[in-house]
Protein backbone atom coordinates (compact mmCIF):
# COMPACT_ATOMS: atom_id res chain seq x y z
CA UNK A 1 0.00 0.00 0.00
CA UNK A 2 1.16 3.51 -0.84
CA UNK A 3 0.82 5.87 2.13
CA UNK A 4 1.31 9.60 1.63
CA UNK A 5 1.30 12.39 4.21
CA UNK A 6 -0.28 15.60 2.87
CA UNK A 7 0.64 18.82 4.67
CA UNK A 8 -1.11 22.09 3.78
CA UNK A 9 1.28 24.93 4.63
CA UNK A 10 1.12 28.72 4.69
CA UNK A 11 4.17 30.61 5.96
CA UNK A 12 5.43 27.67 8.03
CA UNK A 13 9.18 27.80 7.32
CA UNK A 14 9.95 27.52 11.05
CA UNK A 15 8.34 24.13 11.69
CA UNK A 16 7.77 22.50 8.31
CA UNK A 17 11.24 20.93 8.07
CA UNK A 18 11.00 18.92 11.28
CA UNK A 19 7.43 17.83 10.49
CA UNK A 20 8.53 16.48 7.10
CA UNK A 21 11.60 14.66 8.46
CA UNK A 22 9.55 12.90 11.13
CA UNK A 23 6.65 12.10 8.78
CA UNK A 24 8.96 10.53 6.17
CA UNK A 25 9.86 7.80 8.66
CA UNK A 26 6.29 6.46 8.51
CA UNK A 27 5.06 7.10 4.95
CA UNK A 28 6.20 6.47 1.38
CA UNK A 29 6.06 10.12 0.40
CA UNK A 30 5.40 13.52 1.94
CA UNK A 31 3.35 16.02 -0.07
CA UNK A 32 3.43 19.69 0.91
CA UNK A 33 0.87 22.08 -0.54
CA UNK A 34 2.43 25.52 -0.30
CA UNK A 35 -0.65 27.74 -0.17
CA UNK A 36 0.86 30.98 -1.44
CA UNK A 37 3.48 31.37 1.29
CA UNK A 38 5.53 34.58 1.33
CA UNK A 39 8.43 32.95 3.22
CA UNK A 40 10.71 29.99 2.46
CA UNK A 41 8.19 27.25 3.22
CA UNK A 42 8.43 25.68 -0.25
CA UNK A 43 12.23 25.80 -0.36
CA UNK A 44 12.58 24.22 3.07
CA UNK A 45 10.06 21.51 2.17
CA UNK A 46 11.92 20.63 -1.02
CA UNK A 47 15.23 20.58 0.85
CA UNK A 48 13.76 18.11 3.33
CA UNK A 49 12.74 15.76 0.50
CA UNK A 50 9.03 16.54 0.19
CA UNK A 51 7.08 16.79 -3.05
CA UNK A 52 5.83 20.38 -3.22
CA UNK A 53 2.75 21.69 -5.02
CA UNK A 54 2.45 25.48 -5.02
CA UNK A 55 -0.54 27.82 -5.13
CA UNK A 56 0.29 31.18 -6.65
CA UNK A 57 -1.71 32.90 -3.92
CA UNK A 58 -3.23 31.97 -0.59
CA UNK A 59 -6.48 30.13 -1.30
CA UNK A 60 -7.25 28.59 2.10
CA UNK A 61 -6.93 25.19 3.71
CA UNK A 62 -9.91 23.78 1.84
CA UNK A 63 -8.32 24.51 -1.51
CA UNK A 64 -4.98 23.12 -0.32
CA UNK A 65 -6.67 19.86 0.65
CA UNK A 66 -8.50 19.75 -2.69
CA UNK A 67 -5.14 19.97 -4.45
CA UNK A 68 -3.78 17.18 -2.24
CA UNK A 69 -6.72 14.84 -2.90
CA UNK A 70 -6.68 15.48 -6.65
CA UNK A 71 -2.96 14.66 -6.66
CA UNK A 72 -3.61 11.50 -4.61
CA UNK A 73 -6.27 10.31 -7.06
CA UNK A 74 -3.98 10.96 -10.00
CA UNK A 75 -1.08 9.10 -8.34
CA UNK A 76 -3.34 6.23 -7.19
CA UNK A 77 -2.39 6.63 -3.54
CA UNK A 78 -3.91 4.02 -1.22
CA UNK A 79 -3.95 5.99 2.05
CA UNK A 80 -3.69 9.75 2.47
CA UNK A 81 -2.80 11.18 5.87
CA UNK A 82 -3.41 14.88 6.52
CA UNK A 83 -1.66 16.80 9.27
CA UNK A 84 -0.78 20.39 10.10
CA UNK A 85 2.51 22.04 9.21
CA UNK A 86 3.03 24.02 12.41
CA UNK A 87 4.23 21.13 14.56
CA UNK A 88 1.07 20.77 16.66
CA UNK A 89 0.56 17.20 15.44
CA UNK A 90 3.03 14.43 16.18
CA UNK A 91 4.05 12.64 12.94
CA UNK A 92 5.20 9.67 15.01
CA UNK A 93 1.50 8.92 15.58
CA UNK A 94 0.89 8.27 11.87
CA UNK A 95 1.06 4.45 12.33
CA UNK A 96 -1.73 4.73 14.90
CA UNK A 97 -3.80 6.85 12.52
CA UNK A 98 -3.57 4.47 9.55
CA UNK A 99 -3.87 1.18 11.46
CA UNK A 100 -7.71 0.91 11.35
CA UNK A 101 -7.62 1.40 7.57
CA UNK A 102 -4.90 -1.19 7.12
CA UNK A 103 -7.01 -3.68 9.08
CA UNK A 104 -10.16 -2.76 7.10
CA UNK A 105 -11.88 -1.53 10.23
CA UNK A 106 -12.56 1.98 8.94
CA UNK A 107 -12.60 4.09 5.80
CA UNK A 108 -11.59 7.29 7.60
CA UNK A 109 -9.69 7.70 10.85
CA UNK A 110 -10.06 10.89 12.84
CA UNK A 111 -7.33 11.85 15.28
CA UNK A 112 -9.17 12.93 18.43
CA UNK A 113 -7.73 15.04 21.23
CA UNK A 114 -10.60 14.51 23.64
CA UNK A 115 -11.35 10.80 23.75
CA UNK A 116 -12.47 9.42 27.10
CA UNK A 117 -9.47 8.58 29.24
CA UNK A 118 -7.13 10.43 26.90
CA UNK A 119 -7.19 14.22 26.80
CA UNK A 120 -4.86 16.97 25.69
CA UNK A 121 -4.22 20.10 27.69
CA UNK A 122 -6.01 22.75 25.65
CA UNK A 123 -6.60 26.36 26.69
CA UNK A 124 -10.07 26.54 28.21
CA UNK A 125 -11.47 29.03 25.72
CA UNK A 126 -10.24 26.88 22.83
CA UNK A 127 -11.73 23.73 24.32
CA UNK A 128 -15.09 25.44 24.79
CA UNK A 129 -15.11 26.60 21.18
CA UNK A 130 -14.08 23.17 19.90
CA UNK A 131 -16.87 21.52 21.89
CA UNK A 132 -19.43 23.88 20.34
CA UNK A 133 -18.14 23.22 16.83
CA UNK A 134 -18.05 19.45 17.40
CA UNK A 135 -21.65 19.36 18.67
CA UNK A 136 -22.77 21.48 15.72
CA UNK A 137 -20.92 19.23 13.27
CA UNK A 138 -22.33 16.06 14.83
CA UNK A 139 -25.87 17.41 14.60
CA UNK A 140 -25.42 18.47 10.98
CA UNK A 141 -23.60 15.37 9.75
CA UNK A 142 -25.46 12.79 11.89
CA UNK A 143 -22.23 11.45 13.41
CA UNK A 144 -20.83 11.12 16.92
CA UNK A 145 -17.27 12.42 16.94
CA UNK A 146 -15.31 13.67 19.91
CA UNK A 147 -13.19 16.08 17.88
CA UNK A 148 -14.64 17.29 14.60
CA UNK A 149 -11.98 19.96 14.04
CA UNK A 150 -8.94 17.70 13.98
CA UNK A 151 -6.70 18.17 10.98
CA UNK A 152 -4.86 14.91 11.69
CA UNK A 153 -6.76 12.28 9.72
CA UNK A 154 -6.28 9.27 7.44
CA UNK A 155 -8.37 8.46 4.37
CA UNK A 156 -8.60 5.28 2.31
CA UNK A 157 -8.52 5.68 -1.47
CA UNK A 158 -12.22 4.77 -1.77
CA UNK A 159 -13.17 7.97 0.03
CA UNK A 160 -11.19 10.42 -2.13
CA UNK A 161 -13.95 11.22 -4.69
CA UNK A 162 -16.56 11.87 -1.98
CA UNK A 163 -15.27 15.24 -0.86
CA UNK A 164 -16.59 18.42 -2.51
CA UNK A 165 -14.25 21.01 -0.96
CA UNK A 166 -16.82 23.77 -1.38
CA UNK A 167 -15.45 25.45 1.72
CA UNK A 168 -12.11 27.05 0.92
CA UNK A 169 -11.25 27.88 4.53
CA UNK A 170 -11.01 26.16 7.89
CA UNK A 171 -14.63 25.01 7.75
CA UNK A 172 -13.45 22.24 5.44
CA UNK A 173 -12.88 19.92 8.43
CA UNK A 174 -16.61 19.88 9.25
CA UNK A 175 -17.56 19.76 5.57
CA UNK A 176 -15.43 16.64 5.04
CA UNK A 177 -17.12 14.92 7.99
CA UNK A 178 -20.52 15.72 6.52
CA UNK A 179 -19.48 14.49 3.06
CA UNK A 180 -18.08 11.25 4.46
CA UNK A 181 -21.21 10.62 6.51
CA UNK A 182 -23.48 11.32 3.53
CA UNK A 183 -21.48 8.84 1.44
CA UNK A 184 -21.87 6.15 4.10
CA UNK A 185 -18.20 5.76 4.98
CA UNK A 186 -17.20 4.35 8.35
CA UNK A 187 -15.37 6.88 10.52
CA UNK A 188 -13.49 5.84 13.62
CA UNK A 189 -11.39 7.84 16.07
CA UNK A 190 -8.03 7.21 17.69
CA UNK A 191 -6.39 9.30 20.41
CA UNK A 192 -3.69 11.78 19.42
CA UNK A 193 -1.60 14.36 21.19
CA UNK A 194 -1.43 18.02 20.23
CA UNK A 195 0.92 20.85 21.18
CA UNK A 196 -0.14 24.44 21.69
CA UNK A 197 3.27 25.82 22.57
CA UNK A 198 4.75 25.78 19.07
CA UNK A 199 5.74 28.79 17.01
CA UNK A 200 4.33 29.43 13.58
CA UNK A 201 1.36 31.02 11.88
CA UNK A 202 -1.80 30.99 13.97
CA UNK A 203 -5.38 32.07 13.40
CA UNK A 204 -7.43 34.32 15.63
CA UNK A 205 -9.39 31.64 17.54
CA UNK A 206 -12.57 33.74 17.77
CA UNK A 207 -12.56 34.61 14.07
CA UNK A 208 -11.64 31.05 13.20
CA UNK A 209 -14.46 29.66 15.34
CA UNK A 210 -17.06 32.02 13.90
CA UNK A 211 -16.02 31.18 10.33
CA UNK A 212 -16.26 27.45 10.99
CA UNK A 213 -19.59 27.83 12.79
CA UNK A 214 -20.94 29.83 9.86
CA UNK A 215 -19.88 27.04 7.53
CA UNK A 216 -21.61 24.44 9.71
CA UNK A 217 -24.82 26.49 9.84
CA UNK A 218 -24.73 26.77 6.05
CA UNK A 219 -24.40 22.97 5.77
CA UNK A 220 -27.25 22.48 8.24
CA UNK A 221 -29.43 24.84 6.21
CA UNK A 222 -28.91 22.79 3.07
CA UNK A 223 -29.34 19.41 4.77
CA UNK A 224 -32.24 20.23 7.14
CA UNK A 225 -34.18 23.14 5.57
CA UNK A 226 -37.38 22.22 7.38
CA UNK A 227 -35.70 22.61 10.77
CA UNK A 228 -33.70 25.65 9.73
CA UNK A 229 -36.64 27.60 8.28
CA UNK A 230 -39.72 25.81 9.56
CA UNK A 231 -39.08 25.80 13.30
CA UNK A 232 -38.17 29.51 13.58
CA UNK A 233 -41.11 30.28 11.26
CA UNK A 234 -43.51 28.36 13.50
CA UNK A 235 -42.20 30.16 16.59
CA UNK A 236 -42.62 33.55 14.89
CA UNK A 237 -46.16 32.60 13.87
CA UNK A 238 -47.01 31.67 17.46
CA UNK A 239 -45.49 34.93 18.68
CA UNK A 240 -47.65 36.82 16.19
CA UNK A 241 -50.77 35.01 17.42
CA UNK A 242 -49.96 35.88 21.03
CA UNK A 243 -49.55 39.55 20.12
CA UNK A 244 -52.78 39.45 18.11
CA UNK A 245 -54.72 38.13 21.12
CA UNK A 246 -53.05 40.79 23.28
CA UNK A 247 -54.24 43.45 20.84
CA UNK A 248 -57.80 42.16 21.15
CA UNK A 249 -57.52 42.06 24.95
CA UNK A 250 -56.31 45.67 25.06
CA UNK A 251 -59.16 46.76 22.77
CA UNK A 252 -61.76 45.00 24.90
CA UNK A 253 -60.32 46.41 28.13
CA UNK A 254 -59.73 50.03 27.05
CA UNK A 255 -61.58 50.51 23.77
CA UNK A 256 -58.30 51.60 22.18
CA UNK A 257 -56.66 49.84 19.28
CA UNK A 258 -52.93 49.13 19.87
CA UNK A 259 -51.63 49.91 16.40
CA UNK A 260 -47.96 49.20 17.19
CA UNK A 261 -48.69 45.83 18.76
CA UNK A 262 -51.01 44.83 15.93
CA UNK A 263 -48.41 45.73 13.30
CA UNK A 264 -45.77 43.66 15.06
CA UNK A 265 -48.23 40.78 15.37
CA UNK A 266 -49.12 40.90 11.68
CA UNK A 267 -45.49 41.16 10.58
CA UNK A 268 -44.39 38.31 12.85
CA UNK A 269 -47.22 36.05 11.68
CA UNK A 270 -46.55 36.76 8.01
CA UNK A 271 -42.81 36.17 8.31
CA UNK A 272 -43.53 33.00 10.29
CA UNK A 273 -45.89 31.67 7.63
CA UNK A 274 -43.34 32.48 4.93
CA UNK A 275 -40.64 30.65 6.92
CA UNK A 276 -42.77 27.54 7.38
CA UNK A 277 -43.73 27.36 3.71
CA UNK A 278 -40.09 27.97 2.68
CA UNK A 279 -38.98 25.12 4.93
CA UNK A 280 -41.61 22.76 3.52
CA UNK A 281 -40.76 23.62 -0.10
CA UNK A 282 -36.98 23.41 0.36
CA UNK A 283 -37.32 20.17 2.32
CA UNK A 284 -39.33 18.68 -0.55
CA UNK A 285 -36.69 19.78 -3.05
CA UNK A 286 -33.87 18.37 -0.86
CA UNK A 287 -35.71 15.05 -0.52
CA UNK A 288 -36.21 14.90 -4.28
CA UNK A 289 -32.51 15.56 -4.89
CA UNK A 290 -31.54 12.81 -2.41
CA UNK A 291 -33.89 10.38 -4.18
CA UNK A 292 -32.35 11.21 -7.54
CA UNK A 293 -28.83 10.71 -6.16
CA UNK A 294 -29.79 7.33 -4.68
CA UNK A 295 -31.05 6.19 -8.08
CA UNK A 296 -27.81 7.09 -9.87
What CATH number is attached to the domain comprising 199?
3.90.550.10
DSSP string covering 94-117, please? HHHHHHHHHTTS-SEEEEES--TT
Please, which residues have CB within 8 angstroms of residue 18's CB and are 6 or more apart in sequence? 87
CB 149 within 8 A of CB 176: no
Who has greater pLDDT, 208 or 26? 26
Same structural domain, 204 and 230: no
Judge if 269 and 149 occupy the same domain.
no
Determine the Cα–Cα distance for residues 111 and 78; give it in Å rounded to an integer: 19
Q: Please tell me whether residues 181 and 100 are part of one structural domain.
A: yes
Residues 285 and 180 in one domain: no
Are 85 and 9 a contacting pair, CB within 8 Å? yes
Buried b (16+ CB within 10 A) or exposed e, 62-89: bbbbbbbbebbeeeebbbbbbbbbbbbb
pLDDT confidence band for 258 (50 / 70 / 90): confident
| Residue where one domain finishes, among candidates 178, 195, 223 | 223
Q: If pLDDT is split at 50, 70 and 90, which confidence band does 261 have? A: confident
| Average pLDDT value over all residues in the chain | 86
Poorest-confidence range of 15-19, 25-29, 70-74, 167-171? 167-171
- State how far the Cα of 138 lies from the Cα of 253, in Å rounded to an integer: 50
**Least confident residue range of 117-131, 138-152, 157-171, 183-197:** 117-131
Q: Which residues contact 130 (CB under 8 A, 6 or more apart)?
A: 114, 122, 147, 149
Task: Express each pLDDT in 203-237 by its tens digit.
Answer: 555 555 566 566 666 666 767 777 778 888 889 99
Name residue 182's beta-bridge partners: none
Q: What are phi and psi of 124, to 5 degrees?
A: -55, -40
Mean pLDDT calculated for residue range 85-102: 96
Q: Are 168 and 60 in contact (CB under 8 A)?
A: yes
Structural domain that includes position 253: 225-295
Rounded to the nearest angstrom, the gap between the alpha carbon of residue 49 and the centroid of all alpha carbons in its chain is: 30
Identify the domain boundary among 198, 223, 248: 223
Residue 201 has pLDDT above 60, yes or no: no
Per-residue pLDDT at 79 exceeds 50: yes
**Burial profile 175-212: b = 16 or more Cβ within 10 angstroms, e = fewer:** bbbbbbbeeebbbebbbbbbeeeeebbeeeeeebbebb
Domain count for the chain, please give it: 2
pLDDT at 137: 81
**For 243-256, what is the mean pLDDT?**
87
The listed range with the strongest mean pLDDT (93-97, 111-115, 176-180, 181-185) is: 93-97
d(CA 76, CA 68): 12
Residues 212 and 235 in one domain: no
Please write the tens of the pLDDT for every residue from 118-157. Answer: 555 666 666 777 787 788 788 777 889 988 888 999 999 9
* ∠ Cα 134 225 139 (to 5°): 20
Which is higher by pLDDT, 77 or 123?
77
- 80-90 pLDDT, tens digit per residue, is 999 999 999 99
Amino acid sequence: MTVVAAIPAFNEEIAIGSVIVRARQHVDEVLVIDDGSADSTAQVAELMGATVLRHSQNAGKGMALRTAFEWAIDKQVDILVTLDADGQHNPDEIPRIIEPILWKKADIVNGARFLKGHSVKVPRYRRMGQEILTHATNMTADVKLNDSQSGFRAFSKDTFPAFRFNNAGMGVESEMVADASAAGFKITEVPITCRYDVEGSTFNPVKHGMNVLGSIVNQFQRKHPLLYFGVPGFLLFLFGLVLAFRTLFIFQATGKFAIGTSLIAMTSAMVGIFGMFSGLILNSVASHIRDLKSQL
